[in-house]
């Protein structure tokens, strides 16, 4: 899935910077469950796709993130195991945060709303069987 690179140099530079910031937060999200890794990686891929062929190629061919980005961009979604892991770990940390880390009602509402939105997004994404996908790729 190729995107059209923006022509404005300043916008391209801002997109590249935003892509790296998004990727940095995605990497932090691997270790800090409150940061949503997958959406941030997808955002970085989108921003790189709009600003730099070099960085877009690099991220979609990255050995850690590339497979997930390609499957998402191709409309294949994510595996059932990834959905379960993401939703379970996210809600475990969110519930701890909501009930023990903050007493501010507004923050509790924000955390719960974000959790619901991410859960709905993950559940609406297509689910693919990773074994079936590997067989299809080997047949090509």
**Distance between CA atoms of 123 and 65, rounded to whole angstroms?**
20
Residue-by-residue DSSP string for 64-104 = TTHHHHHHHHTT--EEHHHHHHHHHHHHHHHHHIIIII---
Phi and psi torsions of 128, nearest 5°: -120, 155
The owner of tokens 């910031």 is 21
Of 8-22, 25-39, 88-102, the one with minimum mean pLDDT is: 25-39
At how many degrees (to 10) do helices 80-96 and 105-124 cross? 170
Distance (Å, rounded) from C-alpha 43 to C-alpha 38? 9
Alpha-carbon distance of 132 to 140, in angstroms, equals: 13
| Structure confidence by residue, pLDDT tens digits, 97-121 | 888 888 899 989 998 998 999 899 8
pLDDT on residue 77: 85
Residue carrying structure tokens 């993401």: 86
pLDDT digits (tens, 9 = 90+) for 57-100: 999 999 988 888 888 888 888 888 878 878 888 888 888 888 88
pLDDT at residue number 90: 82
DSSP state string for 8-33: -HHHHHHHHHHHHHHHHHHHHHHH-T
Contact 4, 35 (CB under 8 A): no
């Amino acid at each position: 899935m190729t995107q059209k690179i923006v022509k404005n140099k300043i916008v391209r530079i801002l997109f590249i910077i935003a892509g790296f910031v998004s990727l940095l937060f995605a990497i932090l999200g691997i270790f800090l469950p409150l940061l949503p890794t997958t959406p941030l990686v997808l955002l970085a891929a989108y921003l790189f796709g709009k600003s730099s062929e070099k960085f877009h190629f690099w991220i979609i061919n990255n050995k850690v993130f590339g497979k997930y980005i390609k499957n998402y961009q191709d409309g294949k979604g994510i595996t059932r195991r990834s959905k379960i892991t993401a939703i379970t770990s996210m809600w475990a940390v969110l519930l701890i945060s909501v009930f023990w880390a903050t007493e501010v009602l507004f923050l509790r509402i924000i955390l719960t709303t974000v959790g619901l939105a991410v859960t709905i997004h993950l559940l609406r994404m297509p689910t693919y069987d990773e074994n079936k996908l590997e067989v299809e790729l080997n047949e090509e």
